Amino acid sequence: MGTYDIRHRDGLAKTGVLTLAGVVLQLPAATRIEGVFPHLLTWPHPNVPPGATTDEVLAHYPSDAEDPVPVYASYIPPLHDATAIMLPGWHTVLRDPPRYVAWLAAIRRATPPDLVWYAPAAALPQTAHILCYSGFDLFDYTAVDLATAQQKFCLPTGDYPSDLTSSGVCACEGCSEGDLSLHNRLSLNGELALIAYHIRQGTLRELVEGRCRLFADHVAVMRLLDQEGRIMELATPVARAAQLAAPATDSLMRAEIRRFAERVIHRYHPPRTDVAVLLPCSARKPYSLSRSHHLLRGAICGRGHEVILTSPLGPVPRDLELVYPAAHYDIPVTGYWDREERGVIGGILAEYLTSHGYQRVIAHLDGGAGEVAEEVAATTGIPTEFTVGGDPLSRHSLAMLSDALDDVPRADIDPFDGTLRWQFGCHIQMRDLRIRGRYPLLTAWSGHVRVFSIDPGRGLVRPTFDGWRRIPGIYRVRIDAFVPQGDVLAPGVTSADPDIRIGDEVLVEGALALATGRAAMAGPDMCSARHGVAVRVRKVKKIAGCTL
């Protein structure tokens, strides 16, 4: 049995260090697989196809299976001592995206989250991105060596005639020496190194969206993974440091974008007002720091509830504008929204307005956003007034906006309440707290005790130990009887809230200590992982036999 030390996660993709039988590999990587698993050369395991039934698999399954343990959607053996699993014949499934995603999801749900996934004979420079995005870590050179035998010149953009070796398209050592085999291997290695970089940066999805445009099957796999939802949402952080680029319609289906919208509809609760003021987004984030929103807020003067309508997120309440990814996305700005974009954003907006009981909408929008507001007004029947006459920032338009709000009272917006509801899914008592600081560096105090603060980088609320007393029994990680001397590792976790996602603020509870910190795994993974960091601890409090 070896070890796999996972260093970074980005969705299903991982980087880490595999140590096995004296071999150390930085993953994701391609290697001469006989150097890592020499027994595979003589293993009498027939080429059982990925779609084989349980009986067919068991009829040929080796009795002495060891790393990498063969797994199938129809049969997954006990994996207690396994470091790596192998999905035989997986290269054939890339041509069948529905089965690719269905089988992948079935295997993912039934295996621990800290295994090395090996896809034999599957990796080419043009397939590596979608394989890693799907959770595979380890590859061999079989596919690129076969391409060499077929006189194919491999690049991440596809296969080309072998005479490109001397064309100057690539300046690698293989091309310099006229060695097609070396070029193809180096091309795969280089693509995997680039993928590893994007995983570390938290931007693999952006790379995949760009790469897969050249391959219809890869687009289908990405879209079907988005539709499958559960395994991608479970692996997707609630917030990350990287900016979220949303250049295409497929970005609308990203797990973090769908999660934001679902929480805005089902967790968040707006302040007490029945008037929603729909506003355009701005290039500068957060919106309230932009020149355009300075002018818009001057006309609104706190009346009604400001809701920014944007693609790809849909409605963003003003009090959630700091929450990832509302202050962290970038899109191409043309003013034009295509039919699919309007349909998705319109559906979210309609559900938001109706679920939160607004009785009146003032839409200060133009272009595609204005068209969405018109369609939603027609479908929901909510009285809607449009206040843009030409340029939304012209004196005439701003005057129309101000006049429309003449009879609307000011809305009392708590900068913490909405975020706490979105983040934890419950109402938290805030009436006795005083808010200090200058936006967005805000803190909430009870007397001389700090209770909450807002992380300006992610927009999420960080509770202190006193803050956790106000949060009723959720987002807890329970550990054995020990005092954390650093981060909490998965083997020390006894249970965890299943709603916890990577990046969530959590309270660690044990018989001897409490700790606050940030989740490094999803709650279900903390309970099934055999090693790795579960919680990045920020503060520890020794305690005897007591929980909050």
Whether 213 shows a pLDDT value over 60: the answer reads yes
DSSP category for residue 535: E
Task: Of 192, 197, 219, give the one whose Cα is nearest residue 208.
Answer: 219
Whether 299 shows a pLDDT value over 80: the answer reads yes
* Mean pLDDT value of segment 94-104: 96
* Mean pLDDT value of segment 99-122: 95
Whether 537 shows a pLDDT value over 90: the answer reads yes
Distance, in Å, from the CA atom of 66 to the CA atom of 45, rounded to the nearest integer, reads: 12
Q: Are 477 and 504 in contact (CB under 8 A)?
A: no
Whether 545 shows a pLDDT value over 60: the answer reads no
Q: Could you read off the pLDDT of 122-156 as tens digits, one per residue?
A: 999 999 999 999 999 999 999 999 999 999 999 99
Report which secondary-structure segment, H or E, holds 440.
none
Task: Of 505, 509, 463, 515, give the one whose Cα is nearest residue 485.
Answer: 515
Structure tokens at 265: 């509809």
* Mean pLDDT value of segment 534-546: 86
Whether 307 shows a pLDDT value over 70: the answer reads yes
As a residue count, the chain comes to: 548
* Mean pLDDT value of segment 12-23: 92
Helix axes 255-266, 339-355, angle to 10 degrees: 30
Burial of 521 (0-12, 13-18, 19+ CB in 10 A): buried
Q: What confidence tier does 66 reach under pLDDT thresholds 50, 70, 90?
A: confident
Q: Could you read off the pLDDT of 272-284 as tens digits, one per residue?
A: 899 999 999 999 9
* Mean pLDDT value of segment 229-234: 90
Q: What confidence tier does 460 reach under pLDDT thresholds 50, 70, 90?
A: very high
Helix axes 216-228, 97-110, angle to 10 degrees: 40
Q: Are 68 and 43 in contact (CB under 8 A)?
A: no
Backbone angles phi, psi at 544, to 5 degrees: -115, 110
- Which residue type occupies 148? T
Whether 497 shows a pLDDT value over 70: the answer reads yes
Whether 543 shows a pLDDT value over 90: the answer reads no
Pick the range with the lowest mean pLDDT from 35-49, 97-111, 287-301, 488-502: 35-49
**Alpha-helical regions (H) of 241-326:** 255-266, 291-300
Distance, in Å, from the CA atom of 295 to the CA atom of 414, rounded to the nearest integer, reads: 22
Q: What confidence tier does 260 reach under pLDDT thresholds 50, 70, 90?
A: very high
Q: Are 210 and 128 in contact (CB under 8 A)?
A: no
Q: What confidence tier does 546 reach under pLDDT thresholds 50, 70, 90?
A: low
Distance, in Å, from the CA atom of 201 to the CA atom of 10, rounded to the nearest integer, reads: 8
Cα angle 261, 264, 265 (rounded to 5 degrees) comes to: 90
Q: In this predicted structure, what is the pLDDT of residue 413?
A: 86
Distances (CA, A) of 294 to 174, 283, 288, 449: 57, 13, 6, 33
Whether 26 shows a pLDDT value over 90: the answer reads yes
For residue 513, the cross-strand partners are: 542
Kindly state the percentage of the chain with pLDDT values over 90: 81
Whether 184 shows a pLDDT value over 70: the answer reads yes
Structure tokens at 41: 């050369």
Greater pLDDT, 326 or 22: 326
Report which secondary-structure segment, H or E, holds 434.
strand 434-438
Q: In this predicted structure, what is the pLDDT of residue 229?
A: 76
Question: CB neighbours (10 Å) of residue 498?
Answer: 12
* Mean pLDDT value of segment 347-367: 96
Q: Are 120 and 142 in contact (CB under 8 A)?
A: yes
Instruction: DSSP for 441-490, please give it.
Output: EEEEEETTEEEEEE-TTT--EEE-HHHHTTS-S-SEEEE-S---SSSEEG
Number of H helices, E strands in the chain: 17, 27
Question: CB neighbours (10 Å) of residue 56?
Answer: 15
Q: In this predicted structure, what is the pLDDT of residue 415?
A: 82
Whether 448 shows a pLDDT value over 80: the answer reads yes
Backbone angles phi, psi at 297, to 5 degrees: -70, -30
Whether 91 shows a pLDDT value over 60: the answer reads yes
Domains recognised in the chain with CATH numbers: 3-228 (3.20.20.105), 244-404 (3.40.50.10630), 417-542 (2.30.130.10)
Task: Of 137, 147, 126, give the one whose Cα is nearest residue 210.
Answer: 126
Distance, in Å, from the CA atom of 85 to the CA atom of 68, rounded to the nearest integer, reads: 4
DSSP category for residue 115: P
Structure tokens at 107: 């295997």
- Which residue type occupies 501? R
Distances (CA, A) of 240 to 302, 324, 351, 421, 520: 31, 8, 27, 20, 12
Q: In this predicted structure, what is the pLDDT of residue 336?
A: 81
Q: In this predicted structure, what is the pLDDT of residue 297?
A: 96
